[in-house]
Structure 1
Amino acid sequence: MRSRMKARLRGCAVLAALPAIPLALFALVAPAGAATQLCGATDTVSVGGGEYIAQNNIWGADTPQCITVDGTSFTVDSAGHDNSTSGAPAAYPSLFKGCHWGQCTTGSGLPVQVDGDMPSVTTDWSTTLPGSGSYNAAYDLWYNTTPATTGAPDGAEMMIWLDYSGPVQPAGTRVATGVQISGATWDVWTTQMDWRYIAYVRTAGTASVDDLDLRAFTRDAVARDAVEEDWYLIDVEAGFEIWQGGQGLRTNAFSVDVGGTTNPPTDPPGEGRQCSATLRTDNSWNSGFTATVTVTNTGDEPLSGWTADWTFTGGQRILNGWNATVTQSGADVRAVNANYNGAVPEGGSTSFGFQGSGPAPGTPAVACTAG
């Protein structure tokens, strides 16, 4: 949830962004062609003939913020936020289609069930991002276990980060890198709170997207057990989680199309090259240990190579490795396949090992990138 995409993810894990529960369940209605300024923490306005709702949504701080909404565009006019980037953001000014904590837009086509017959859900979003501040530009999707549109969602939250600025990152742990969805490459983060949480962070930041395939993201989340097939997508939001600064952030245009086309998704779960990796400690003694990492082909194409990345948390050091080239920089470790075990068939696996100094590492999360 939370320097531009080229700056590597860093800093402490932050809390998941929970959009504020509106105190009022009815949005103002903006006259056609009229701009409306929202400054109250829970102020909202209905736009686009009721198809969308814009919200100021200051939920993680008492600092001021005003946005000006003009149709399906809005600008952050002023913001006095100064939250720690290791904690929750101050606000998530945004537009949404669907039902947000019981507040619903009209004619949204949502909820839709997350199953094999899930209709196409695509979105366009154009933004303007200032060069300073700590924020992200991110979608926030909500899933419910039933088609109910009242109250708080009880299934899962999915965030899709297009870009970000400052030392911010999603909640939880990075569990995969190099994931191909909707024509771009993403890192994946997950955690468990009162609901399941999954975040996709675009590895090459962008200020705009066209025809972003939300069905493809949903199916990938199902494959990762972050969303269940019998749940319902009830809400699609797009906005800016702001920790510090924020003035000048702008949504130029935003739209969501539900059920427009029914062509098969270009990136269903498991399509193409994908892999996972797990680490286990084999032996340990006072001053060291040995461990094995198993790499599994989880896609539907053979792998031609793979890379495994993980982070030590107890000061461990790599002494030597076998069946892979293992390197270490600080606490970060990377292993690249040997020339004889990079090819892994569909459903197949291979393994490598290493010896290290320090305490046994337990079972750290390992991110696998398929080649």
Structure 2
Amino acid sequence: MELKVWVEGVVRVVSGLSLNTSCQDVVIALAQAIGQTGRYILILKLRGNERHLVADDCPLQHLAQLGQLATEVQFVLRRTGPSLSEGPDTSANERRLPLSRPSEPEPLKRREPQKALTFSLGPSTLPKRNKPKKDWSRSPRSSPELRASPVSFLDPVNSMKTNPSYPKDEVFRDILQQQRRLQDLEIQLQDLERETELWEQKWSSPEVTLAFAEELEELQWRVRQNEVELMQTEDWEKALQAEMEREQGMHRRLDQIHSSINDQSYEITTLQTRSAHLEEDLQVRVQTQSSLTAQQDESLKSLKQELHNRLQLGEELDVRLAESQQEMETAEERVKTGDY
């Protein structure tokens, strides 16, 4: 998952987060990305109100608790001062930047749930990640509320060195830095306590209680509206499912029609091929029959010519036979008459 954080007016996206990713890890990643050391604090803004997250807070868990209001939340990374390791000469005023007071919420133009506005700056009820124990002892004022102060996540470790060769001046300097840091934390803790009192006074007033009652009533009305919309959505889903099934049936029917058209097209192609073959065979037969008829006509013509010639020859033979018979008759008459 990812988280959008405003850093100096620019939105930066921190990705690869989980519900158990702490505010300290997010601040370290952002500070490394911008390449600037110092003390930082991650602020959760909602409708003009601010909450300073502690090191062990998990931003994504806060968003999950806010529900629909999570879309209105803005996370802002604010630099509260230079790193303590930048030197002991850093002025106390630069390290003791006052915490920003939550601005008064503007009059609500529309009633919306504000269940996320009652923040608790004490120990979080969410499961905390186990942190390694620090080398220094806490002061009496370092109660669980101390975790609400800004933490310099990028400071180098300034713990006491066990090496005997470590310079004594450096050890004293580290001790002075730790003392200054504890003083800063105590001052910031006092500011947070005053801020907590202001919040408690503000949200315990009758006007706020009445506003919460009205908003609760509106929330209940919205829940009922959501239930009605959910029922309508279920009806729409059923109608959509029926329409989708009908569309699927039409697609299946269309596929069947396409398949039938393809089969009929194949049959038509086959019939056209057979018709073409039959037409070719018929043309061959017609041509063959024509050639046979021509041959028969030629043969008949020759036979007729031969018959005509033979008839003429027969007529000639008849004429000759008649002449021969006449000559024979003449000869017989001469024989009878004795003319030898």
TM (norm. structure 1) is 0.22
Larger strand fraction of residues: 1
Larger Rg belongs to:
2
